[in-house]
Amino acid sequence: MPEEKKQTQPAKQYRRKRRQPKSQQQKESQPASSRQTNTRKTAISVVVPLYNEETSLPELAEELKSVLGGMGMPYEIIFIDDGSTDESFKVLRDLHRNNKRIKVIRLRKNFGKSAALSLGFQNAEGEIVITLDADLQDDPAEIPNLVRELKKGYDVVSGWKKRRRDPITKTIPSRLFNFIVRLFTGIKIHDFNCGLKAYRKDVIKKIRVYGELHRFIPVLAHWQGFSIGEKIVQHRNRKYGKTKFGITRFLKGFLDFITVIFTTRFATRPLHLFGSIGLVCFFTGFFIDAYLTIQWFLGNIALSNRPLLLAGFLLIIVGVQFLAIGLLGEMISRGHHVKEEYSIRDILD
Residue 191 binds Mg ion (CB under 5 A): no
**Secondary structure (3-state) at 232:** strand
Residue 112 binds ligand UDP (CB under 6 A): yes
Residue 191 binds ligand UDP (CB under 6 A): no
Choice between 91 and 134, CB closer to ligand UDP: 134
Pick the piece of the chain touching Mg ion (CB under 5 A) from 2-10, 135-143, 206-214, 297-305.
135-143
Cβ neighbours around 211 below 10 Å, total: 16
- What is the nearest approach in angstroms of ligand UDP to the Cβ of residue 249? 7
- DSSP per residue, 243-280: -S--THHHHHHHHHHHHHHIIIIITT-HHHHHHHHHHH
Q: Which of 10, 43, 47, 53 binds ligand UDP (CB under 6 A)?
A: 53
- List 45's β-bridge partners, or say none: 76, 129
First to last CA, the chain: 52
Pick the piece of the chain touching Mg ion (CB under 5 A) from 82-90, 125-133, 292-300, 330-338.
125-133
Q: Which of 42, 110, 264, 284 binds ligand UDP (CB under 6 A)?
A: 110
Is 214 exposed, middle or buried (CB count within 10 Å of its CB: 0-12, 13-18, 19+)?
Answer: buried
Residue 137 binds Mg ion (CB under 5 A): yes
**Secondary structure (3-state) at 158:** strand
54-84 burial, b at 16+ Cβ within 10 Å, e below that, comes to: bbbbeebbeebbebbeeeebebbbbbbbbbb
> Could you tell me where the DSSP H helices lie in 72-161?
88-98, 113-123, 143-150
Choice between 139 and 330, CB closer to ligand UDP: 139
Residue 54 binds ligand UDP (CB under 6 A): no
Residue 195 binds ligand UDP (CB under 6 A): yes
Q: What residue ranges in 109-179 does DSSP mark as E strands? A: 128-131, 156-160
Choice between 81 and 133, CB closer to Mg ion: 133
Residue 113 binds ligand UDP (CB under 6 A): yes
Residue 243 binds ligand UDP (CB under 6 A): yes
CA distance 238 to 134: 10
Residue 82 binds ligand UDP (CB under 6 A): yes
- What is the nearest approach in angstroms of ligand UDP to the Cβ of residue 267? 26
Residue 135 binds Mg ion (CB under 5 A): yes
CA distance 103 to 105: 7
CA distance 41 to 53: 30
- What is the nearest approach in angstroms of ligand UDP to the Cβ of residue 16? 24
CA distance 114 to 119: 9
Binding mask 199-238 for ligand UDP (x = CB under 6 A): ----------------------------------------
Pick the piece of the chain touching ligand UDP (CB under 6 A) from 47-55, 225-233, 286-294, 317-325.
47-55
CA distance 333 to 341: 12
Pick the piece of the chain touching ligand UDP (CB under 6 A) from 6-14, 62-70, 108-116, 121-129.
108-116
CA distance 140 to 155: 20
Choice between 119 and 323, CB closer to ligand UDP: 119
Contact residues for Mg ion, defined by CB under 5 A = 133, 135, 137
Which stretches of the chain bind ligand UDP, using CB under 6 A?
49-51, 53, 82, 110, 112-113, 116, 133-135, 137, 195, 243-245
